[in-house]
């Protein structure tokens, strides 16, 4: 695979739009930013630039990680969350974005409940747009930090077997991870109840394997990615109750013992302890959850740096 030296995209709207070479280029950039994560080690690559975090759906972790990433690069950061946003007053997304743009901003990081919203914004604006989650579509920086963590642990992603367990149907993290891991040469298994892991996923993503039996999904994987089970969906028809979910698919110590000795446990957070994962596993030796969080800053620094640099070129 030829090495790519330059990043040409002003936006990161999804993994779908990235090539393997671009993902690897971004990882090399994130490698170089890792030392800057130490306290007192900020950089000034984005000095004088302004990043707006436009979060139209609740988020603490992702928004904070983007804020810290931008600040570590020396940028100014303004965060707008859903209650403060004028969108609740009926302004269109185009108008909100054009207003922010008119104030002289370099990049907008957006989380939005509508699938496709980031791509739409990227077409509307001539500044950088970074997708921090669009509906059930994509959450590209989460997938990038997950793959980056796997690469750190195992040396490379190609050839790894990764099981994604939980609410695949509604998960943007799952979609971005399926695309990212496949592009990097990993084998992906999707596991969970049949209502959340429907057979049609195989048509949408022919490269994946589906499993409704936990043991077969865990037995020979190198990593299991747990997805948060969302309380708000408990009342829908997709599974009977959180308790039922836990009894069938929750990762406890006994089930974790089915994993290979070196297999790791990942989670994008926030964790529902005792629902999709028990504390013993979440805090245990297999867990890389806090490494994921830390790598998330380096990866997002790389995204912000590369996209805004591509724009000024």
Partner 1 sequence: MNPADPSPLWIRGARVLDPASGRDEAKGDVFVRDGVFVERLTAAEQAKARVQDGKGLVVAPGFVDLNCRLGEPGRTARETVRTGTRAAAAGGFTTVVTMPDSLPAADNVGTIQLLREICARDAAVRVLPTGTLTKGHEGKALAPIGSLKKAGVVAVTDATSGVQNNEIMRRALEYAAMFDLVVLDHCQDSSMTEGGQMHEGAWSLRLGLRGLPRTAEEIVASSDCLLAELTKARIHLQHLSSAGSAEIVRRAKARGLPVTAEVSGLHLLLADSALKDYDTRLKLNPPLREEADRAALVAALVDGTLDAVCSDHSPCTATEKDCEFDQAPFGAASLETTFSAAYEAVVLSGAADLALLVARLTAGPAKALGLAAGTLRVGAAADLVLLDPKAKWIPSAKTLFSKSGNNPLAGRALTGRAVATFVGGHQVHGA
Tokens of 110: 């957006």
- Copy the structure tokens of residue 70: 């931008």
172-201: contacts with partner 1 (CB under 8 A)? 172, 175, 198, 200-201
Nearer to partner 1, 72 or 172 (CB): 172
Q: Report the C-alpha gap between 57 and 134 in whole angstroms.
A: 9
Is 278 one of the binding residues for partner 1 (CB under 8 A)? no
**Cα–Cα distance measured from residue 256 to residue 252, given in angstroms and rounded to the nearest whole number:** 6
Q: Is 111 in the site for partner 1 (CB under 8 A)?
A: no
232 exposure class (CB count in 10 Å sphere: 0-12, 13-18, 19+)? exposed
Among 26, 136, 214, 223, binds partner 1 (CB under 8 A): 136
Beta-carbon count within 10 A of 41 CB:
10
Distance (Å, whole) CA 13 – CA 128: 10
Stretch that binds partner 1, among 2-10, 75-83, 136-144, 301-309 (CB under 8 A): 136-144
Which residues lie below 8 Å from residue 193, measured CB to CB, with a gap of 6+? Answer: 212, 238, 239, 245, 248, 249
- Segment interacting with partner 1, rule: CB under 8 A, options 134-142, 154-162, 214-222, 291-299: 134-142
**Crossing angle of helices 140-154 and 61-72, rounded to 10°:** 70
Among 15, 25, 26, 117, binds partner 1 (CB under 8 A): 117
CB closer to partner 1 out of 77 and 136 = 136
Q: Decide if residue 226 touches partner 1 (CB under 8 A).
A: no
Q: How many chain residues bind partner 1 (CB under 8 A)?
A: 25
Applying CB under 8 A, the residues found at the interface with partner 1 are 92-94, 112-117, 119-120, 134-138, 169, 172, 175, 198, 200-201, 203-205
């Amino acid at each position: 695979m030829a090495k790519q030296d330059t990043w040409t995209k002003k936006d990161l709207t999804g993994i779908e739009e990235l090539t393997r070479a671009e993902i690897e280029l971004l990882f090399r950039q994130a490698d170089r930013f890792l030392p800057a994560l130490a306290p007192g080690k900020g950089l000034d690559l984005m000095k004088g630039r302004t990043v707006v975090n436009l979060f139209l759906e609740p988020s603490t972790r992702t928004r904070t990680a983007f804020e810290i990433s931008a600040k570590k690069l020396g940028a100014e950061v303004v965060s707008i969350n859903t209650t403060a946003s004028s969108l609740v007053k009926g302004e269109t997304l185009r108008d909100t974005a054009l207003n922010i743009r008119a104030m002289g901003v370099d990049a907008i990081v957006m989380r939005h409940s509508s699938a496709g919203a980031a791509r739409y914004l990227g077409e509307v604006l001539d500044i950088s747009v970074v997708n921090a989650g669009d509906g059930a579509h994509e959450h590209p920086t989460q997938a990038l930090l997950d793959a980056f963590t796997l690469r750190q642990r195992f040396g490379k992603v190609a050839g790894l077997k990764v099981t994604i367990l939980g609410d695949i149907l509604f998960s943007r993290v799952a979609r971005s991870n399926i695309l990212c891991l496949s592009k990097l040469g990993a084998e992906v298994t999707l596991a969970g109840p049949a209502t959340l892991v429907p057979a049609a996923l195989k048509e949408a993503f022919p490269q994946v394997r589906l499993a409704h039996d936990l043991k077969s999904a865990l037995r020979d994987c190198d990593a299991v990615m747990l997805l948060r089970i969302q309380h708000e969906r408990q009342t829908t028809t997709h599974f009977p109750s959180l308790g039922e979910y836990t009894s069938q698919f929750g990762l406890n110590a006994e089930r974790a013992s089915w994993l290979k000795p070196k297999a790791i446990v990942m989670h994008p957070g926030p964790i529902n302890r005792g629902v999709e994962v028990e504390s013993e596993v979440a805090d245990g030796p297999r867990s890389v959850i806090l490494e994921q969080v830390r790598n998330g800053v380096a990866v997002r620094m790389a995204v912000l740096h590369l996209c805004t640099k591509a724009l000024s070129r």
